[in-house]
Amino acid sequence: MTPYRYETTGRNRRTLVALGLVWGVIFLAIALLDASVILMALIALCTAPALYDLISGRRSGLVLGSDGLSWFAGRRTGEIAWNKIDHIRLDTRLDFSVRASAVLVSGRKVRIPLEATPPSEGFETTLTDRGITVRRHHFSLLG
């Protein structure tokens, strides 16, 4: 079985466009609506993680190998053997992002970093094709 690999970087067009749109709206609000500069600066501060990702080009990804599941996101890494995983849980959150967790045989949940999680449709198909149980949970507030 060939390993499934997913890799991404913070230096991408989507991040650049999102930052451009947010900053454009901020500048327009200041110029046209006479919005508070302090309030707009606080809103702009919320874009700092995206700006850091864009500048640093930090890589993240996930590998489904024959031995188990592994991931990396910046300095964070993790690896779990298949015999320790009961199922993979995919939670759709209220912002429509999908969080992936490996639920171990012991019942403990190990969250896969959001930036290392592949797009949910292809990821779920790949997991089920490999015989791995996937449980979907939509819009749960706790979990």
Rounded (5°) CA angle 73-107-103: 35
Contact status, residue 40 vs residue 28, Cβ threshold 8 Å? no
Strand order of the β-sheet with 4-9 is: 4-9, 59-64, 68-73, 76-81
CA dist 94 and 33 (Å) reads: 30
pLDDT at 140 over 70: no
pLDDT tens digit sequence for 86-138: 999 999 888 788 999 999 999 999 999 988 999 988 899 999 998 899 999 88
pLDDT tens digit sequence for 33-61: 999 999 999 999 999 988 998 898 889 99
Output the pTM of the full model: 0.74
Rounded (5°) CA angle 98-66-83: 75
Q: What is the pLDDT of residue 53?
A: 86
**DSSP for residue 47:** T
Q: What is the pLDDT of residue 35?
A: 94
CA dist 63 and 4 (Å) reads: 6
